[in-house]
Structure 1
Amino acid sequence: MMSLNHPSTVHWVSSTTSPEFTHLSYALTHSTVIALDAEWKPVLKNNPSHIEYVKSTPTIDTKTKKHTFPIVSLLQIACFSSTNDQNISSSNESLVFLLDLSTINLLSVYGLLKEVFISPYVIKLGFKFKQDLIYLSSTFSVSGCNNGFDKIEPYLDITSIYYHLYLKQSRSKAPKQNKSLATICKEVLGISLSKELQCSDWSQRPLTVEQLTYAAKDAYCLLEIFSVFVAMVEKEGDSPSDDGNVWSSNLDCGLKHIFEMPSYGEKFVVTKYGEASDIIRATLSESIQEMSTEDISDSLKSSSITNELDRLLLNIARKYGDKIVLKESDKTPKMSKKKVKKNSTTTMIAKDRHFEDVDNWQSTPPWDLSMGGDGCPKFLCDVMVEGLAKQLRCVGIDAAIPYSRKPETRELIDQSCKENRVLLTRDAKIMRHGYLFRNQIYRVKSLLKNEQLLEIIETFQLEISEDRLMSRCTKCNGIFIHKPLSSEEAVEAAKGFQVIPNCLFNKNLEFWQCMDCHQLYWEGTQYHNAVQKFIDICKLDK
C-alpha cells in the first residue's frame, strides 16, 4: 500500500545555490504527480466606503500607463513520486516547496519549470490554474525568459476531478454552481480550508507564518483530493493493476495533521548558503545545477513507467487528462469596462459619514443592560468573517453564524436583532442599506483572524480570562456539560457519530460534551496548545 506522506517541513526556496533548490530540482525531475498554485500581490482598490483587495485584476503601469498583469511572487509546488527514492520523500521529508520568485533568478529556473510543465511523464494538478499560468508566464516573460509559458500538459483540474467524484457518489447531474476549493476540500476530505489570506499582500518579505502555512496547504490539499480520485478510479476497475489499493490517502495522518499541527509554523526550512544539508549530497547538487534542458528531459523520461502505480497514473492521464494552452490573446491584459454611476457631492458626503459612523463603533451594544440585554456579549459573523466566529468561541465569547450558507442581507439583520447580536462583517454592500441599526452592525477592518480577534476585544471592551478559554464548542457555539465524563461515559456518548482514539484511554483524560451538537472534547495536546495560543494572543499572562 502506498500513501501520500504528510509534509513535516515546508521548503522555502529563494536561491539557486541553496540545498532547497537542489531538493526541488531533484523532486521535479523524479515525481509522477505535482500540484501547482501561485500567489501575487492583489490590486488595492481604495474608495470612500472601504479598502478592497481584488485578486485577479490587471494593473496599470505608472510609467507606461499601460495595463499589465500582476507579478507572481510565490509559486507553490507539492510533489509526489511513485518510487521509493529516499532523496525525494521519507517519513522525515516534506514534499511541499515554496519558490520565492521575487528573489530567485528566474532565468535559472525557467528551463526546469518549462520542461516539467510539458513533460508527458508528470501529471500536473491545479485549481482553475489557467489564470495563474497567464500571470506566471507574464512574470517570466518580463524577466527575459522568451515568451514565458505556453502550455501545461497533461493537466487535471481539481474541479473536473470533483465532478467525477460527485457523479459517482450521487449518481445525478453535476451541480450547476462552481465550487470553491474550500468547498471541494470540505466535501471530499472533510477538512475546512480557510481562504482568508488569499488577498493578503504576497509581495511583502518576509511572509508571515500564517501566509506560509496557507500557501503550503493550498498546494498540498490538491494531492490529497487527487488521491481520493485515484482510489475511486482503481475501485471502479479502470486500473491496469490488480494488486489492490496502490494509492490510498490516509487522511487521519495526512492533511488533517498539517491543519491541526500547533507548531506548524516552526517547521519551515530556510537553509542559508554554505550550510551542510542532509537532504542531498553535494555531488548531486552540482550535477543538477549543471543539467541542460536535454538532461532534464532525459531525467524526466527515466523516472516514468517504473511500476504499477505509474501505469495507473498514465491510464488516468490518458482518460481524464486535459491541457492548458495559452493563446496570444490570453497574454494581453484586458480591463473590464464597468459603468460608473454619477453621484452628487452631497450624496458622496452622506455616504462617507455613514461608513465612518459604522466603522468607528460609538454605540451601545444590544446586549447592554441599559438596552434590555442580559449583559453577555453576542456576535453574528457573516460568511466573510466566519473564521472569526471560531476565534471568539475559543476565548469563550458567544459567536453565531448565519442560519443559511448564502443569507440575504435582510436575514442577517433579522437574526442579529432577534438574538440581540452585533453583526460582524467586511462586506461594504451591507453598509449601504438604510434600515440598518447603528448598534447592530460593525465592519471588521483587519484581514487576519488573530488581528480580527484583538480588534473585536478592544472595540467592544470584552473581558477575556484564562478560565473561559475553550469553554464553548468551536463547532456549533454551544456550551459544555459542566460535569466531565469518564472514559466509559464518553464512549457511550460518542456512539454513532464520533470515534474516540484508543490511545486516549490509557491517559486518564476527562471528556466534555457540547450540550447542543453533542461533540466530545478532551484535554489532549491540541487542547493545551490552543489554550496557550490564546493566552499569548490575548496577553493573559501579563
Structure 2
Amino acid sequence: MDPKVTQKQIHTAFQSLDSLTLTWIEKLTTVWNAYKKGEPTCRLLHEFFEISRNPFVSVLQAIVHCRGFHLGNKQNSLPCTVMEEFSSWSQKKHSNLSHLLKTDIKLLAFDVAVQQKNETLRKLIVQTYQMNMDKQLFVVPILTLVQEGKYKEACQCAVMLELYEEFKIEDFVIPLIFQDKYPVAEKFLMGNRDHQLKVVTFLDDLLGQKNIRNEFDATVRRLNISNVDSFHLQAKPLGKLIFKIVKAFDLPSTVCPNLMINKAKGVLHFLLKKHYVDKSINQESWNEMVLEAVGTNLVLQLFLVECLLCVCKREALKWTETFKIPKHLWPYGLKKYDESESVKDTSGPQQNISNSTNSGRKDGNFYKLPILESEIQVVDKPETFRKFLNVIRNKKINMVGVDAEWKPCFGFGYKENTLSLFQVATKQKVYILDIPSLNSSAPTPMWCSFMTDFIGNSKLLKLGFNVAGDLSILKNTLSKSHSLSIPLGFMENSFLDLDALWKTLVRSYNFKFPYSSSASSSSSSSGGLSTLIELCMGKTLDKSDRFSNWEQRPLRNSQIVYAALDAFCLLEAYNVIVRECQSQGIQIVDVVESLMNKNVFARKLESNCQRPKSVVSKWRKKNSNKKKEVKKMSLADYRIILDTTLFGVGKELRKCGVDTIILKRSDVPPIIRPSSSSESLRVFTQRRENLLKKTYEAVYVLKSNRLRDQITEMLNLLNTKLPPQNTQSRCLECNDCNFHKVPQREMLELVKRNSELPPAEEFTDSECEYGYYDDCQDENGHGSQQRSNNEYLIRTETIPYSVVFKKKLFYVCNRCGSCFWPNSHKGTGFRGFVGPP
C-alpha cells in the first residue's frame, strides 16, 4: 500500500470482513461476556491467531469491530485484551511471522492507533507492529495530523515512535501550549534537550515583549492554531509556566533572562514594601538584600532607582552612586533633584532612611533576650562543636528551644534553600551552630553524633515553631554535604511544634492567654511566632533582621541576637503555656502526648523514662562506615503500599501472601511511624508521586502499564523474586491473612439461599472482575446471612453457582467475609489463590 494511503481507504479495507473473522468476533464477544479475561478467552484468541491467514491484519480488523474500541481509557476492555494476547503470542512466533508484517500493514496499524484514545492500547499496537523499526515511515502521517489540527495525537505518536529530531517545536509543542495542553507537550520535551531550550527561549522572548497579546495573536495567525486559550499566556501565568519548564528539566537560568528580571523586580517590590510601608526591615538588612537582588544588572539597578524616586529621592541618589550608574542614564526626576541639591553626602540618606524606618518603634515595645549576650556562643569550629555535644549529653538538660535561619532565595536563578544557622537554646545559654563553617570543618562522625545524641535523643524535648520546615532543610543540607541518609520521621520523633500546640489548646480546650495580641484577639489560633510571644509575654519580637543575608560572614551583632532570641523565646512561651494550663485545669501532659503520639515524650514532664534505642541504633547502623553483608529479602518480607492505579498489582501480591495496602482515590496515605518493620516498607505509584512524597520518604514510580510488566519492574527494583507457589494468600479484598474453612455441603446451602443471583452479563466489566455486588437477601431477609468468625457476612454471591459443585473446600476471610477456593482467580495474573493448610 502506498505510504500516502488515505484514512478513507483504510476504513474501506476494514469494512469487508470474511466470514471466519466475523464468526470469530461474535463468538469472542459471547465468551468475553461470560469469562472476561479468563482462560477460555485466552484459549479462543490463541486458536484464532493460529488459523488466521495473516494474524496482523485479522487482529486489527478484530479490535476495530470489537465492542469497546471507542470507549476511551478503559484498560480492561476487550480490544486491549486481544492486543495484549496477540503481542505475547507474536513474540513467541516472531521468526515465523516476520515476513507477514509488511509496510502497508504498519501504516494500517498506525491509523488504528491514532483513532484509539486508550494510551495503553496505542502503545501495544506500536510495540506489536514494530513501528519503531521503520520510524521515518510515519513522519509524513504525523505531519498530516498537524495540518488537520490534531496536535495532541501528533505529539503522542511522535513520543511513542521516539521521533524527536524530525519535528520542530512549532509543529505541535507551541500549539499545544497555546491550547493550554502543556502536559501533553511535556512528554515530547523529555526526549530532546535542544527542544527544551528552544521552547523556553521562545516563551521567554514572548514574555519580554511590551505587548504580549499582540505577539501572541501574530504567532497564532502564523501557525494557524485553533482553539487557543489566551488567558494562560498573560505575563504572570506565562512566567510560572517558563519557571516550571526550567525547573523540571534543570535548565540554566541564563536561558530565560526576561523571566529572571521579572522575578527580581517582584523581589524589589517586596523589599520596598517591607522597608518603607511595613517598616519591618532595618537599614542593614535592606542594604544587604537590595545588593543581593539587584547584583550587577543595569536594568534592575535603574528599576530600583526609579522606584526609590517615589519614596525617597536621597536614597535613590545614594544607590546611583553606589552602582556607579552613568549620569546620562539617570531618570529625569533624579537629575532635577541632583541639580537642586548641593550636598551629596551618602550618610545623609542613610540616616534619613533609618529614622523613617524605625520611627514610632521603641526598644521597650519588643521582647528582649533575658540573658546576657555573653551567654550566646557561636559554634563554628570542631572544638566548639564537640563541647556543644558534651553539653547536650548532660542528663540534667531535658528541654531546649530550636530554630533555624537560611538566606532567602532572591535575585537571579533558583536553588534550594541551604541552612545557614541552627540555634539551640537551654535555660542558661544559646548555641548558634554556623552550618557552612561546620560543614567544611567538622568530620562526618561528629555529625552522626549530632544526629543520634541530639536530634534522635528521645529524652530531650525539643521545642520549635513550624518545625517541619526547619527539619526538612536541615535534612537536605546534611544529606548533600555529608551524604547522610536521614529519615524525616526519625528527626521528628522528639520535637514539639508550639504552633500546633497553640492551635490545639485554643480550638479544643478554650485556652486563654495572659495577654492579648494587637493583631488578633487572645482566643486567636493563627499567627506567627511574634504573635505567640505577644500573647504569652505581652510584647512582640523585633523581626527587622528576619530578611537578612544569613550566609554573609561575619554576622552582624544584631543578627546573632535575633537568632538567639528566636530559639530562647520558645522556652519562655512554653513555660507560660504550662503555667496557664495548670491554672485553667487543662492536662497539658495529655495534650502534648496526643500531639506527639508518643507517651515517652509527654511523660517526661512527670518522670524519667527509658530511652527507646531501636530507631537510633537503626539509623546509626545504616550510616556506619563498616561494610556488612546485607541479607537479601524475600518479597513476602516487604510491606507494600500501592495507589489505586496499581490495584491489579495489589491483588497479585496478596495472592502471593505479601502484606499489601491499596489506597483508594479518597484515602489519605497512612502515616507509618518508624519501627522495627519500617525498613521493609515500600511505596509504589504511577500518578500520585507528589502526593505520596508528602508522607513517605521514598516513593517508587512504575513506568510499565501491563500488569505482568509492572510486577516484573517491581521485582527488579526490590531485587527479589516471587514467594514459593505454596505460600498462603491474603484476602484479595481486605488484605487479612486469617481464614476459616467451609466444606462444600455447607457452602452449597448458603449459595442456595441466594436464589436470585443475576447473570454475569448484567454487570459492568469492573463489577464482574472484582466481584463488587450488593448483598442479596431472600424474602425473609436471610440470604447470605451466615457470618464469619468476626461476625462479618459471608459473601457467597461472589461464587459462581457452577463452582460450588466442583470445589470440595472454600476459604472465608475472617475479617470481611470474602470467599475463595483453591486456585480461584487463576488466569488473571501470575497465580491463583492459595488457601491455608
Give the TM-score normalised by the residue count of structure 2.
Answer: 0.25
Task: Work out which of the two has the higher radius of gyration on C-alpha atoms and give 1 or 2.
Answer: 2
- Which fold has the larger relative contact order, with Cα–Cα distance below 8 Å and residues 6 or more apart in sequence? 1
* Larger helix percent: 2
